[in-house]
Amino acid sequence: MRNKYRPYSTRSRQKSRRMRNIALILIISIVAIVVFIKNYDGKEATPEQIADQTTPLKDVLPSKVSETPSVPKPIVILNPAVASAEQQPVRVSTPEPVTAFAPQEQVVAVQAEEAAVPPVQAETVPAVPNDVTDTSSPEAKEQIDEALKLRDAGKTIAARELLGDTLNLQLSPTLRSGVKLQLAKLAETWLFSRDVLTGDKLTESYAVQGGDLLQNIAQKYKVPHEILMKINGISDPKRLQAGKNIKVINGPFNAVVYKNSFVMDVYLQNKYVKTYRVGLGSKEYETPNGRWRVEAGGKLIKPTWTDPDTGRTYVGDDPDYPLGSRWIALEGLDGEAKGRTGFAIHGTKDPESIGTRSSRGCIRLFNGDAIEVYNLLYGGISEVLVKD
């Protein structure tokens, strides 16, 4: 009877089995954590790091603004692993140049694409607190209080100017985020609406003349014609009504990328407008610090691209097209960026890569954000400052 068959395990066997299962679960958990750490290079910045990530507003302005952009060069879509201008790419794909004004069918298609892109929910940024107990300077707190009173009184431009000035003062990370949130909300009124507000030197009303082309108007003001189309509700850029007033923007737009916090701040001249989350280059393909300029003719919609590693050529209609909705080519001006080519700001097929170091050096955006930034940065003039 001692060897009688038992349909269920004894307690000792059950206990042994449980111990083995627990050990197996622990091993799997440890392996998963190790893999996660290796794949996730983008660690959140500490408050101390964020506090250091400020840029004097004078440094946001382009280093040298010409009256007219330089002649567009042939655009080469490279693997950004190409380290310098002296190195030659292994494989190159040169897309067909995009004309300044696409045919009406393409304009409609682009508008449909923009409408189809779901809005990206911005990160929740704390509002400006009323009683601030932090390291912000008393002067900054006083200016913020006064600016909020001006905002509540409907004095949008005065509030914008005063809030913008506080970005040059000592602010805690929380309060700086709150100021930027308020400025972004104000931009919806003074910048992204059809209204031209009294006292605003960054926007104005323009009376369309006979024979005017939106492209030429946009070039005069150093902004892409797409943003003028959007804020004025213009469906066809080739059909402007003489005598009608449209809102124009005194550009250019510029940007600052903070690598440690994975964000890109966009400015009109040196007035803060909006913050976008970004993905950056991995450790092997670090996004170079320094000042960049958007290449003249370097803004493309889903250009054909050849992967230098696999040799596969992608076209914009491919379901797994890797470059997302837009490509904004960059040329290095100074710092680590000087002389570097093949880098760009572009969309992505992998939205989970935003906020991580996983690209080959390019600056990635959500596809909806890439369209917005494409409509703001002007080829040959707009600059992008990349810093830790």
CATH architecture of structural domain 47-120+253-387: Beta Barrel (2.40)
pLDDT of residue 16: 64
pLDDT of residue 82: 29
Name residues whose C-beta falls within 8 Å of residue 66's C-beta, 6 or more positions apart in sequence.
Answer: 380, 381
Is 371 in contact with 216 (CB distance < 8 Å)? no
Give dist(CA 201, CA 224) in Å, integer.
18
Tokens of 131: 């009683």
Nearest to 261 by CA among 45, 46, 42: 45
pLDDT of residue 57: 79
Name residues whose C-beta falls within 8 Å of residue 276's C-beta, 6 or more positions apart in sequence.
Answer: 263, 264, 266, 365, 366, 369, 372, 373
Which residues of the chain fall short of a pLDDT of 50? Answer: 1-10, 35-52, 65-68, 70-132
pLDDT of residue 86: 31
Q: Residue 110: how many CB atoms within 10 A of its CB?
A: 16
Give dist(CA 299, CA 348) in Å, integer.
16
Tokens of 374: 């494409």
pLDDT of residue 378: 98
Model's pTM, two decimal places?
Answer: 0.73
Residue ranges per structural domain of the chain: 47-120+253-387
pLDDT of residue 37: 46
